[in-house]
Structure 1
Amino acid sequence: MHIAVVGAGLAGLTVARQLQSQGHAVTVYEKSMGVSGRMSTRHTELGGFDHGAQYFTASSDRFKKEVADWKKFGWVVPWTTKLATLDAGTSKAAGKSSTRYVPVPGMSALGKQLAHGLDVRCEQQVTALEAHGKQWLLSIRSSEVPVAATAGPFDAVILAIPADQAEPLLSVVPAFAKQAKQARLSPCWTLMLGFQTSLELPYDGAWINNSRLGWIAHDDAKPLHRAGERWVCHATAAWSLEHLEDDDERVKEKLTKAFHEATGSWIQPIHAVVHRWRYAQAEKPVDADSLWNARQKIGVCGDWFAAGLEGAGRVENAFLSALALAKSIFE
């Protein structure tokens, strides 16, 4: 079959590789400039900022096996680090229960490795699906072309994008659209700070209580990352939702102040940039591995599926969901 995969995050790349290995012709469409989705790295003169997913863990046997292969290839390494919980100026050690992994030299590196050998079309946003007999046509919008284009026909279409973005495309399968609507993803404002000198904080990552921020991480403390003093700060879902439409400068000011208050360090940054993730974490994961309509040949996968795990929004969810969908198609 000739299959279109919409989305080049971990789920999209995983399902595309699985399908291609089974002899299908696969084309991946990605609206952003590069692959990796929320496993992204922002590159600057100071070095990279992993401003989306910070790390990942592995709990299922299948994912542990995959991670072992990635380690063997040198794509990922364990992140053994000092983590803490911050609350009203006090710091308490935390986070020793699970092995945490990071791709090197940045989170986006894993997606780039997985994209090798795939036909990935970046900066091409799929805006609609249209039935064409027993096949599908895709409406494509690109910043390089002023008018919408049509791609296809494809024998099957896979959506590997956030639920909120998948829902309008799934109007062709109302039952799937309904499930996507129930899995709404909460937003996250991210602040990236660079400093000229070390802050000399006694931890490399911290969960923060009673703050606008929920998490901060010393990015250059990760293995094989460029030296420097770079911190990634994630606002809480509640604060991000309340301030979703605020302008960048206001968000930067508020979150920088929260960082100073949480860490007790008042050294001023030489670099401060914010990024808004509109769809960061599933509020209510779909209690399934993935969705596949064998008659219409349309499927959905992503980290907003439970995929047999507790919770959602993790790298492991994305991988297991994509694997399950590929298996459904093979059957």
Structure 2
Amino acid sequence: MKSLRIAIIGAGLAGISAARTLTGKGHSVELYDKSRGSGGRMSSKRTEFGELDMGAQYFTARDPRFRHELQRWLDAGWAAEWSPKMYRFDDVGLAASPDEQTRYVGSPRMTALSRHLLVGLELQSGVRIVELQRNDEQHWNLMDDGGRAYGPFDRVLVATPAPQAVPLLKASPNLAQAAAQVRVAPCWTVALSFSQRLATDVEACFVRHGPLDWVSRHLSKPGRSGADSWIIQSSADWATEHEATGANDVTQQLTEAFAQVLGLNLPEPDQRMAHRWLYARSVEPCAWGALAAPELGLYACGDWCLSGRIEGAWLSGRQAADSVV
């Protein structure tokens, strides 16, 4: 097959996975992402109290193909196993969890993984693609929100959250309709940093009562340094109900819930930070793997096409790339 010029919209793990696969097969690939960085929801925030993982907190590996790739990351030092003291909080209270799931994190932060995987790839960050234009029967141009055109491309692969993919896939009603069926839930993430270490053995906790869904001690992860920082994430239902609530009020309410989970009177944090993920997780992940309209040279992938997990994002990108070629 001749070398193709391929555009990939979205530099999360699905887009990066597709890009590396296609580049490895000799194709010319250009990645575009509206953010200044990469990794999508594998996001880390640099602060004076350390770099904090504000998005995905960890990932697991079940599929043999992904486990094989993960071993390469582990050997290179891009990822590390994380074995926190795991707890569970519900309407009965806080208790140690018998959970024995093996978990992994990017090292020394979640975004480190995507940055290593981007080496050798061409990425244009800070570019918001809003429309795909068919300039003849075989080629595509990409239009950004400032009216600038990019292209022409032989193929286009959309690797954004499903709601953002819908307008980009309008040239294929079947693909757009499929993406429109996917329901994606929001999440509020709050980071708190303390100068003194909190007196608790909890390092990670699944929360099944109240507004929270997850709590983790950042320093319990391999390679992390800085203050005693904690990441607390809301449930999808709570985030939906508080979509219009200001960040200060969200921080206060979730901090109170965090104190209740740990059973502590918290000191005043040295740092508070809140971020709302509009498209945090798929409510009911599909089993498509990827979407394809080969007659148009248009494709879509993402964790929403598969399992809703980081592993699913990587596998979906690989499947989309295989569909392209």
TM-score range with shorter-chain normalisation?
Answer: over 0.9
Aligned counterparts of 1:278 and 1:83: Cα–Cα separation in 2:
27
Contact 1:36 1:111 in 2 (8 A): yes
> Aligned-pair RMSD on alpha carbons?
1.2
Structure 1 runs (4+) deviating above 4 angstroms are: none
Percent same amino acid at aligned positions? Answer: 37
The structure 2 residue matched to 1:100, chosen from 77, 99, 103, is: 103
1:328 aligns with: 323
5 Å-filtered alignment, 1:57-96, equals 57-88=60-91, 90-94=93-97, 96=99
Deviations 1:234-273, CA, capped at 9 Å, x for gaps:
1000000111121111111111111112112222211111
**Residue 182 of structure 2 is aligned to residue 180 of structure 1:** no
Structure 2: gaps of 5 or more residues = none
2:270 aligns with: 270
5 Å-filtered alignment, 1:288-327, equals 288-306=288-306, 312-327=307-322
5 Å-filtered alignment, 1:10-89, equals 10-88=13-91
Q: Normalising by structure 2, what TM-score?
A: 0.96
Aligned counterparts of 1:303 and 1:43: Cα–Cα separation in 2:
25
2:194 aligns with: 195
Deviations 1:85-109, CA, capped at 9 Å, x for gaps:
0135732222533210111110000
Offset, 1:325: 1.1
What amino acid is the match of 2:312? N
Does the residue aligned with 2:105 lie in a helix, a strand or coil?
A: strand
Contact 2:130 2:168 in 1 (8 A): yes
What amino acid is the match of 1:138? L
What amino acid is the match of 1:323? R
Contact 2:18 2:321 in 1 (8 A): yes
Deviations 1:119-140, CA, capped at 9 Å, x for gaps:
1000001000111101111111
Contact 1:6 1:160 in 2 (8 A): yes
5 Å-filtered alignment, 1:241-280, equals 241-266=240-265, 267-280=267-280
1:125 aligns with: 128
Deviations 1:65-88, CA, capped at 9 Å, x for gaps:
111111111111110110100135
Structure 1: gaps of 5 or more residues = 142-146, 307-311
What amino acid is the match of 1:209? R
Aligned counterparts of 1:3 and 1:244: Cα–Cα separation in 2:
36
Aligned counterparts of 2:73 and 2:251: Cα–Cα separation in 1:
36
Aligned counterparts of 2:172 and 2:238: Cα–Cα separation in 1:
34
Offset, 1:160: 0.6
Aligned counterparts of 1:95 and 1:227: Cα–Cα separation in 2:
29
Contact 2:155 2:324 in 1 (8 A): no
2:213 aligns with: 214
